[in-house]
Homo-oligomer: A and B are copies of this chain.
Amino acid sequence: MKISISIVLFTYFLYYNKTIQKMLKGDFFMEDVKVERLSINYKTLEEFKRFKEYGIQELSMLDELQSNMIENDSESPFYGIYYGNSLVARMCLYRVDKKYDSYFEPPQDYLELWKLEVLYDYRGRKLGKQLVDYAKGFNIPIKTNPRVNSHGFWEKMGFQKVHYDVQRDLGENPLIWLPEGVKEHIEDKKQG
C-alpha cells in the first residue's frame, strides 16, 4: 500500500515537474509569438546592444539616425520577436539581386540572412526556428554564413553546405536553403 502511494506521488511529481519546465520554457505561449519587421529608432538600437553580434552595422545605423541621414522609424533590414516590450530574438535579411547571384541555378534573387540570435534566457523555445521559417516564407533561396559551431542548427533547418569555391567564398562557410525547383550553382572547380 505504502509503495503504491509512493509510486503515484512520484509519477505525479514527474509529470508536474515536466509541465512546470515546459511553462517556464514558454512552450505554452508559442501562439503569441510573432515575427515583426523592426523600425530604426533609438529604442531598437538600444535593444540591439544586448545581442552579442553588435557591430559596425548597428553603429552605422545609429550614426545615420543621429545625423538625420535616415528618419526615425525607417524600415530596417532587421526582423525580430518581442516578449512584452523586450526584443528577445532577431535576424537580418537582405534581398540580393539576381545579377549578383553565384550560388543558385537558375540565377535569381535570394535572401542573405545574418545576425540570427536569440537572447540567452530565451533559448530552447524555437524562436530561432520561427525566424528562419519566416525567412523561408518569402519562397526564394536563402544563403547564410554561420559561425562554425552552429552547423547542427542549420542542418536541422534544412540548410546544406555549398561546394566551397575560394574565389567566391573566401573566409565564409556558406550554407544555403533551396526552395522547390532551385538547385545549387556549381562552378567549374578552381584551385584552392
Question: Could you tell me which A residues sit within 8 Å of B by CB distance?
Answer: 52-57, 59-61, 64, 69-70, 74, 76-77, 92, 94, 96, 112, 114-115, 144-145, 148, 161-164, 166-167, 169-171, 173-174, 189, 191-192
CA distance A112 to B166 in the complex (A): 11
Q: Which residues of B contact A64 (CB under 8 A)?
A: 189
A60 CB contact (under 8 Å) in B53, B74, B163: B163
How distant is A111 from chain B, measured CB to nearest CB, in Å?
A: 11
Q: Which of chain B's residues have a CB closer than 8 A to the CB of A70?
A: 191
> Shortest distance in angstroms between A26's beta carbon and chain B's nearest beta carbon?
28
B115 contacts A55, C-beta separation under 8 Å = no
**Nearest Cβ distance between residue A173 and chain B, in whole angstroms?**
4
Q: Of B74, B76, B148, B171, which contacts A145 at CB under 8 A? A: B171
**B114 touching A60 by the CB < 8 A rule?**
no
User: Nearest 6 pairs between A and B by C-beta?
Assistant: A114-B171, A60-B164, A55-B173, A56-B164, A56-B173, A112-B170
Asked if A171 and B112 sit within 8 Å, CB to CB, the answer is yes
Contact (Cβ within 8 A) A192 B76 = yes
CB distance from A56 to the nearest CB of B (A): 5
Q: Please, which residue of chain B has its CB at the minimum distance from the CB of A189?
A: B69
Q: Which residues of B lie under 8 Å from residue A192 when comparing CB positions? A: 61, 76-77, 94
